Structure 1
Amino acid sequence: MEKNPERERNQIMQACTEHGLALDTRQIEQLEEYARLLESINRSINLVSRKEESSLLIRHVFHSLLVGFHYPFQQGEKVLDLGTGGGLPGIPLAIAYPETDFLLIDATGKKIDACREMITTLGLKNVHAKKIRAEELTGLMFDVVLSRQVAPLRKLCRYAEKILRPEGLLICLKGGNLEKEIEDALDSAQKNNGLPSDVVQHPLDAFDPCFEEKYIVIAYR
């Protein structure tokens, strides 16, 4: 699909305004710059699928922002982006919520190096990137754990329940038929008295045709 930056920018601004996520001119510029950096670095490091580069701003950046339509991040909250890859969804959300603290983790050093480079270039102060596996995190607790299609929900819940505060949430961006995946996570939680006690699934196809069969999945304690 041919790029149309003005159309994409207007689409993002309109949707965000309608859903109470007010972005100023500087934030829009940072989101666009992040998409350009992601595209540039992706030529040498596999951060996102290259067949989708024609619409990075919509398919990846806007996709990440949709989390904020269902959970308004608060000042001072601690958020973990688990398996961040190229900084998704953490970097777009850090741009949109400058008063929230984000930690991006991934086990691949090259991806974390790329995230650090982009964070520095964008001048972001509320987001940091660290090369570490989720199971290696100790002594840290978070209000929200984010994930973008990196593992089955059951496995993500197992990681998250150890590092989430009592009222914390696991929020995932996922695609496809999730009925069995959600059922497995709920069954496992019931047997082990763990996360989740409930799961809510929000379809995203109304925002753009490229989000068909894509969902935000929120797992509650």
Structure 2
Amino acid sequence: MSKQQFPSMLKEQGIELSEFQLQQFHFYYEILVEWNEKMNLTAITNEDDVYIKHFYDSITAAFHFDFTRPLSIIDVGAGAGFPSIPIKICFPSIQVNIVDSLNKRIGFLEHLATQLELEQCHFYHDRAETFGQNPKHREQYDVCLARAVARMPVLSELCLPLVKKEGYFIAMKGPDGKKELKEAKKALSLLGGKVEKEIPFHLPIEESERFIAVINKIEKTPKKYPRKPGTPNKQPIE
């Protein structure tokens, strides 16, 4: 997807970008490539590939969920800012919070937010497990986003404790998403989540498979979750 095709393909989905927003995506790409020479942020650096596989792919969550209202978002393990920063550029009224375990990535994100003139962005260097037990963050967010972080039984334990009751956890997955969602049935139930939408689709042009799960938090998460760092990965709820 070329930079020129990007706005028209978003417009087909009801998202119209201003010149300023398009310039933000342009600068995002330039900063990503520049910093990627100093640290490992992404294996994808070709401009067309970044626009489809990172920018457009991140924004697909907004095709199935309303980000036009003021929302507090927590993005777990966003790496180079995906999916929350592209969504933030499209919907400036949302408040974006990102937790990541690598301090170098936090440095990149802080620089990026400054250069793109993004307001209401906060970045936290922490493990998701300890972050989810912190009373300042536990069950404080309207939406938790996660893209390509961990398998669903593990990801549910990292994300749902951060979501308010009646909030949402949106998991952005690849071709195994539906299978992973079945594997996470016990975890979702135990942690207070209920599947509201399952959306399988293909990215345009390059046709790779994607899957989005929209999970409503219908009950509070039991206090013991998330467990200690490393435990969800070693002993997933299955």
Superposition TM-score, scaled by structure 1 size: 0.87
Tell me how far 1:201 sits from its aligned partner.
2.8
2:38 to 44, 63, 74: 44
Aligned to 2:6: 12
Aligned to 1:200: 197
Q: Deviations over 1:15-34 (max 9, x none)?
A: 22222222111101101210
Please give the secondary structure, in 1, of the residue aligned with 2:198: strand
Q: Percent identity?
A: 26
**Following the alignment from structure 2 to structure 1, what is the Cα–Cα distance between the partners of residues 22 and 87?**
12
**Following the alignment from structure 1 to structure 2, what is the Cα–Cα distance between the partners of residues 117 and 54?**
23
Tell me how far 1:54 sits from its aligned partner.
5.6
Q: Which contiguous aligned blocks of 4+ residues in structure 1 show a shift greater than 6 angstroms?
A: none
Tell me how far 1:188 sits from its aligned partner.
2.9
Q: Please, which runs of 5 or more residues in structure 1 have no aligned partner?
A: 1-6
Moved more, 211-220 or 124-133: 211-220
Distance 1:50 1:65, change over 3 A: closer
Please give the secondary structure, in 2, of the residue aligned with 1:197: strand
Higher helix share: 1
Q: Deviations over 1:130-186 (max 9, x none)?
A: 211222222221111011110111222222222211111111221122333111211
Q: Is the 8 A contact 1:203 1:215 kept in 2?
A: yes
**Following the alignment from structure 2 to structure 1, what is the Cα–Cα distance between the partners of residues 2 and 47?**
14
Aligned to 1:62: 56
Please give the secondary structure, in 2, of the residue aligned with 1:183: helix
Distance 1:33 1:51, change over 3 A: closer
1:35 to 20, 29, 32: 29
Moved more, 93-102 or 10-19: 10-19
Tell me how far 1:220 sits from its aligned partner.
2.4
Please give the secondary structure, in 2, of the residue aligned with 1:95: helix
For the aligned residues, what is the CA RMSD? 2.0
Q: Is the 8 A contact 1:64 1:92 kept in 2?
A: yes
